[in-house]
Amino acid sequence: MAADSEPESEVFEITDFTTASEWERFISKIEEVLNDWKLIGISSGKPLEKGVYTTGAWEEKSDEISFADFKFSITHHYLVQEPGDKDGKEELVEDALPLPMQDLLCMNNDFPPRAHCLVRWYGLREFVVIAPAANNDAVLSESKCNLLLSSISIALGNTGCQVPLFVQIHHKWRRMYVGECQGPGVRTDFEMVHLRKVPNQYIHLSGLLDIFKSKIGCPLTPLPPVSMAIRLTYVLQDWQQYFWPQQPPDIDALVGGEVGGLEFGKLPFGACEDPISELHLATTWPHLTEGIIVDNDVYSDLDPIQAPQWSVRVRKADNPQCLLGDFLTEFFKLCRRKESTDEILGRSAFEEEGKEVADITHALSKLTEPAPVPIHKLSVTNMVHSAKKKIRKHRGVDESPLNNEVLNTILLFLFPDAADKLGDGFESRTSTPAGNNPPPESEDYNLFSQFKSAPSDSLTYKLALCLCMINFYHGGVKGVAHLWQEFVLEMRYRWENNYLIPGLANGPPDLRCCLLHQKLQMLNCCIERKKARDEGKRGSMSDRSPGDTGKGADHSGDNPDKEKEVGKSWESWSDSEEEFFECLSDTEDLKGNGQENGKKGGAKEGNKEPVNLKPEGRLHPHGKLTLLHPGEPLYIPITQEPAPMTEDLLEEQSEVLAKLGTSAEGAHLRARMQSACLLSDMESFKAANPGCCLEDFVRWYSPRDYIEEEVVDEKGNIVIKGELSARMKIPSNMWVEAWETAKPVPARRQKRLFDDTREAEKVLHYLAVQKPADLARHLLPCIIHAAVLKVKEEEGLEDISSVKKIIKQIVSHSSKVLRFPNPEDKKLEEIIAQIMSVEAIIARARSLKAKFGVEKCENEEEKEDLQRFVNCLLDQPEVSVIGAGRGPAGSIIHKLFVNAQRVSAVPPLDEELRRSGSSEERRLNTGAVSDFPPPTGREVILRTTVPRPAPYSKPLPQRMYSVLTKEDFRLAGAFSADTTFF
């Protein structure tokens, strides 16, 4: 058995050499990508215009390829160009060089300020880069580098692609590339040297020329001239003669009485440090020929003052500290705090319980002693007195986060009406605008509706600014909690003593504003109603029912053109204490008026009221209209105002109505709930117009539901006949039901539609339970609104076009984010970051203006040139200096360098050493100081066209780029060779 199995075990493996290897697959994949991107064949294009590498648009396409399990990314970088003539390809000369080789010699785009490094080193408009896909991967060994170079060489040869192909080798931070470009009978090799330490012989131009010529190895004895472009870069870091003008705000002055309380209504602005850290001056000699200048280790002709081209770029400080940005960031941090006001201020549950009991007894004493507090007692001291007493029980005066001076200043700013202890003019002061607010009709004023914040002259807006300042300067979150507690106590004080809240528009809550602003407006509505009712109680010493109508007419008859709305008057119906006794209107009053008889009979008769009732609550006659049946004038009644509502109440109401469902019973119940105001108006109408019917009510309340037609009667006369609309005739109609239910009760004796006491207590409770984080969320739209207005104001002084665009973007972005409740933190952070970037740009503009002395320049033409130059520095990566070192901007830059050099040349000697040297020695030492420091960067581009590798080869472009900095030396060479005649 063993002998039989031996031949079978000696099976040998057959290698199939026709199967593609990993290397061949890799080459095939490169070719496939080049084909997909249509990079095959002859590349054509026009010569490049000057500066197009900076102003033009660069795009890139990427794909992924792999060599075995090692992944590479392949990226095509190209300058977007206008499509040229299609016939251009046919007109190409047969032996024309590929476009990348022509670009090597082009001088129009040397030293582009913003481009890919290969564009700067080789001047290419299009190239493909193969690099390891993962950041931490690298091609380090020489054999692997050669394998990749072979791969791209084969791929280029197979496809006929004329676009240069590069491979990134070594670690990515070194930016080392090798590559190749092929054309018909020609090839260019792209090579690179990168060293940390610079060999001494290559520091100067003479050494670089030597290495370039030796690399070319041109066999011709009179070597063709080498064209040179040289750039020296000088860096200015010390602005010794210039001090940053932005002064931090004087915190003591804000509350020390020297500056008015209005300072609390302004946001700070500007950078606390110089936002421009360095100025880079690039002096360029664009077209030099070998032999014209000398630059070696002994002597150099490269004097920056004599350079024909100067260009400047500024290095901006990374995230400079700016006041407005700090304010916004710190306020936004409040949104993430979890503590409640009581936790921050150190209250215990027991003490809180005691306070509640005290509040209840206080409420009971209010019921038994309804006498209001005299108006002359309203002052800042009295306002905060109760709050201070409560706080002192738990903390010492010194422990309070806000001292009295700061607190009083803020309260005076928020409540300017409290400054005057006299009652005269009290109400006229309630809407005093603060600061330099935009006029109400302007676009800036109406920003609040886009941001859902609050008008810039409102109490809410001012409160937001004060809390922002308190948070930054006066105790952080503790100060915010303290001020908010005082504010809530002040709101209760005003509610209990009938003092209107200043800085709020009259009328119902404005749903365009933030919820906190709506709540304060609701509280003001409650105070208004309560105030009117209390005044009515004091005036009801005698029976005033005959005068009710007249009083209502005085207040509401200003615009008689209004129909339904004219009758709404809260002052006339609330002049009696009977609104709390609705049972009276349901029993004795109606029995006396014989209402029970009026509800029986036919449809027409049942809808008609007995005529023998005494009319009550009339406002004024409704034009010439008369009642259909008695024929008496139709009077508009005094009606109740509809209950004002904030958006959260409206949302609650809509949820309740939605939960009733779509059944017939649910729909009926929903209609009944929604008809409370209609029923009240019907009762008022019945009381004002005894003997009226539903048709009379509809003619006043909803005229479109009463259709009048001209008809001919029996005698042939044309008469006008009216009837209810179709929807009013539907059986069991809500209007008919409500009309049958309604009793003739004047508004002043009806149950209140708006219970101001309950609503005010709800608002006060809502305010009291707000945590500092909730408060910050509510008021953040106001802070962003204020910041945008501040940025607009500051930009108006500088007039920077790029900033105007960014501000428009901020407004658009903010209006989308802030209009919805609970916006995401990430989106809010984006808005704040945008505002901070604008502040930094404006601060940079001011810094540059001060450095270049724009404001001090007396010549108007020069001043405009300097202003234009400064604006360009903000927008562009690099700006050419008109007139180089001899122009107005150039002379200023020269002075800046000279001053910096003089300061750096003075050694920090002691007084004794300073005396020891003679004046002659000091003078010589000072005179030896150069105007400019040693160049930080030296860039040289050497170009020539020579036959290579043999004297009879085709003359081809050769190029070498060199950059030398303090700790970096790089040579990037592109050397072309003839592959046909060699």
Q: Is the pLDDT of residue 605 over 60?
A: no
pLDDT digits (tens, 9 = 90+) for 933-968: 889 999 999 999 999 888 888 899 999 999 998 888
pLDDT digits (tens, 9 = 90+) for 775-795: 888 889 899 999 998 888 888
- Give dist(CA 814, CA 834) in Å, integer: 10
- Give dist(CA 268, CA 258) in Å, integer: 18
Q: Is the pLDDT of residue 598 over 50?
A: no
Question: What band does 447 get if pLDDT is binned at 50, 70 and 90?
Answer: confident
pLDDT digits (tens, 9 = 90+) for 387-398: 444 444 444 444
Provide long-range contacts, Cβ within 8 A and 24+ apart, for 624-633: 625/699, 625/700, 627/689, 627/691, 627/692, 627/693, 627/696, 628/693, 628/695, 628/696, 628/722, 629/691, 629/693, 630/690, 630/691, 632/689, 632/691
Q: 798 near 842, Cβ under 8 Å?
A: yes
| Range among 661-675, 784-798, 847-861 with highest mean pLDDT value | 784-798
Burial of 847 (0-12, 13-18, 19+ CB in 10 A): buried
Chain-wide mean pLDDT for the chain?
Answer: 76
Q: 417 near 429, Cβ under 8 Å?
A: yes
- pLDDT on residue 928: 53
More confident residue, 83 or 783: 783
Give the strand pairing for 718-724 and 879-881. unpaired
- pLDDT on residue 167: 95
- Give dist(CA 527, CA 499) in Å, integer: 7
3-state secondary structure of 71: strand
Q: Is the pLDDT of residue 427 over 80?
A: no
Question: What band does 348 get if pLDDT is binned at 50, 70 and 90?
Answer: very low
- Give dist(CA 483, CA 466) in Å, integer: 9
| Range among 602-611, 667-676, 785-794 with highest mean pLDDT value | 785-794
Q: Is the dihedral of CA 158, 161, 164, 170 positive or negative?
A: negative
Question: What band does 188 get if pLDDT is binned at 50, 70 and 90?
Answer: very high
- Give dist(CA 25, CA 67) in Å, integer: 8
- pLDDT on residue 117: 92
Q: 531 near 500, Cβ under 8 Å?
A: yes
Least Cα distance to 432 among 457, 407, 465 occurs for 457
Q: 686 near 742, Cβ under 8 Å?
A: yes
- Give dist(CA 129, CA 554) in Å, integer: 85
- Give dist(CA 299, CA 307) in Å, integer: 17
Residue 448 half-sphere exposure, CB side, CA atoms within 13 Å? 26
- pLDDT on residue 347: 57
- Give dist(CA 806, CA 811) in Å, integer: 9
CB atoms within 10 A of CB 257: 11
3-class SS string, 726-746: HHHHCCCCHHHHHHHHCCCCC
Listed in order, strand segments (DSSP E) in 9-164 are 58-67, 70-79, 126-132
Using only the alpha carbons of the chain, give its radius of gyration.
Answer: 43
Question: What band does 671 get if pLDDT is binned at 50, 70 and 90?
Answer: low
Q: Is the pLDDT of residue 7 over 80?
A: no
Question: pTM of the predicted model, to two decimals?
Answer: 0.69
- Give dist(CA 367, CA 249) in Å, integer: 49
Question: What band does 922 get if pLDDT is binned at 50, 70 and 90?
Answer: very low
Across 870-879, average pLDDT: 85
Least Cα distance to 881 among 242, 304, 121, 317 occurs for 304
Asked, as a colleague might, if the bond just before 949 is cis with ω within 30 of 0, I would say: yes
Q: 269 near 323, Cβ under 8 Å?
A: yes
- pLDDT on residue 93: 56
- pLDDT on residue 932: 87
- Give dist(CA 958, CA 976) in Å, integer: 6
Q: 653 near 643, Cβ under 8 Å?
A: no
Residues 6+ apart with CB under 8 A from 317: 273, 274, 275, 276, 277
Residues 6+ apart with CB under 8 A from 228: 205, 285, 288, 289, 290, 940, 941, 942, 943
The alpha carbon of 22 is separated from its chain's Cα centroid by a whole number of angstroms, namely 53
- Give dist(CA 692, CA 629) in Å, integer: 7
More confident residue, 30 or 883: 30
Q: Is the pLDDT of residue 73 over 90?
A: yes
- Give dist(CA 697, CA 739) in Å, integer: 9
- Give dist(CA 223, CA 210) in Å, integer: 12
Question: What band does 553 get if pLDDT is binned at 50, 70 and 90?
Answer: very low
